[in-house]
A and B are shown apart, each in its own frame.
Chain A
Amino acid sequence: NAGVTQTPKFRILKIGQSMTLQCAQDMNHNYMYWYRQDPGMGLKLIYYSVGAGITDKGEVPNGYNVSRSTTEDFPLRLELAAPSQTSVYFCASSYNWKGQDEKLFFGSGTQLSVL
């Protein structure tokens, strides 16, 4: 059972380039999330999805896009990379939110630098 798998682990982009961060989970979770973690800051929610075909903005969505065509995959797209998007990106998933002990499972992260 792989859990939440993110690729790539590291990436360097030039300003204006685009890329897609991949995220896949094999736990049949309905809910998936993208977070970014900046140095000395708490994780911030970028986008989330409550099921295939449904996505919604989080706290810091500008400069990003997502899609959820299947339950398993939740890719994050950067169209025009900017230095402000240099961060560590974490994908997470959960079964549902209604249970009080609902737990999030995180991937191991993608370290992105935009130069």
Chain B
Amino acid sequence: KNQVEQSPQSLIILEGKNCTLQCNYTVSPFSNLRWYKQDTGRGPVSLTIMTFSENTKSNGRYTATLDADTKQSSLHITASQLSDSASYICVVSGPLTGGGNKLTFGTGTQLKVEL
């Protein structure tokens, strides 16, 4: 069964600190792995997308890594800001039979950044 598991479930850090969120998956076939940020009451917004051959990808203070052999990914947030408070969702993508992508979503890590 295709699954995406994220840890920790929730995390509280002080502003300015770094943090790393984890994602393990068992999805097959695999097209790419995505990290999304979801603010409360809003839809998810894409942060990074990595294919099988990519090990790391950055988007500003967000850096995602991918180990396709162990089926693990991480999202590192540097110098956190209050606006980073959100749910971070790991999503693994594979092709749909009729076209488009089948996305398997993790349940997210709820990050809170405090002063």
> Is B29 part of the contact surface with A, judged by Cβ < 8 Å?
no
Q: Are B43 and A42 in contact (CB under 8 A)?
A: no
Q: Are B100 and A94 in contact (CB under 8 A)?
A: yes
Q: Provide the bound-state CA to CA distance between A94 and B102, in Å.
A: 12
Q: Are B46 and A48 in contact (CB under 8 A)?
A: no
Q: Are B32 and A100 in contact (CB under 8 A)?
A: yes
What chain A residues lie within 8 Å of B104 (beta carbons)? 42
Q: How many A-B residue pairs have CB under 8 A?
A: 65
Contact with B along A1-15 (1 / 0, CB 8 A): 000100000000000
Which of chain B's residues 89-111 have a Cβ closer than 8 Å to chain A?
89, 95-96, 98-108
Given A31-B99, A45-B103, A48-B96, are A100 and B31 also a contact pair (CB < 8 Å)? Answer: yes
Q: Provide the bound-state CA to CA distance between A94 and B31, in Å.
A: 15
Q: Are B100 and A101 in contact (CB under 8 A)?
A: no
For residue B45, which residue of chain A has the nearest CB?
A106
Of the candidates A50, A94, A101, the one whose C-beta lies within 8 Å of that of B98 is A50
Which of chain A's residues 76-113 have a Cβ closer than 8 Å to chain B?
90, 92, 94, 97, 100-109
Q: Are B100 and A43 in contact (CB under 8 A)?
A: no
Q: Are B99 and A50 in contact (CB under 8 A)?
A: yes
Q: Are B51 and A100 in contact (CB under 8 A)?
A: yes
What chain A residues lie within 8 Å of B105 (beta carbons)? 42-44
Q: Are A106 and B44 in contact (CB under 8 A)?
A: yes
Of the candidates B31, B96, B100, B106, the one whose C-beta lies within 8 Å of that of A42 is B106
Residues on B lying within 8 angstroms of A by beta carbon are: 4, 31-32, 41-46, 49, 51, 89, 95-96, 98-108
Residues on A lying within 8 angstroms of B by beta carbon are: 4, 31, 33, 40-45, 48, 50, 54, 56, 90, 92, 94, 97, 100-109
Q: Name 4 extra pairs, CB < 8 A, besides A54-B98, A102-B101.
A: A42-B108, A48-B98, A97-B95, A106-B45
